[in-house]
Amino acid sequence: MAIKIDVDAALHQLAATRNRIFELLEWHALSRQEQKQPRPPIFDLDTVTADHIRNDLIEMDDLFLSLDLDIAQVLDRPDLECTPRQRDRWRRCREHLEEQVARLRISQRFKRR
């Protein structure tokens, strides 16, 4: 029996998670920039906020990795209802998103050892 899964919706969710990671990295950069300023910061991003951003980054990275693995496993199933061309398109999209997030090295940069 063939399985039918909305891979497009899953890839959309993966892209949204990637976008959230990008947003959090922007906030993290702003927080670090404000900490280095000799004058009072424009935005008061205190230590608690910086920790919250870091924790959100770790959470989003974990979510991304989990979604990515789920999608990869679905795409490897021979009973997935799709054409070979469609499967290749989905794989390329997933791999592109995966490469973008892997380059960010969230685990290495933000997870405490």
Q: What is the DSSP letter of 10?
A: H
> What do you get for the CA distance between the two ends of the chain, in Å?
45
Rounded to two decimals, what is the model's pTM?
0.85
53 contact partners, CB below 8 Å, separation of at least 6 = 24, 27, 28, 31, 45
pLDDT in tens, 51-97: 899 999 999 999 999 999 999 999 999 999 999 999 999 999 999 99
H helical segments located in 1-113: 7-36, 47-75, 84-104, 106-110
Is a pLDDT exceeding 70 seen at residue 39? no
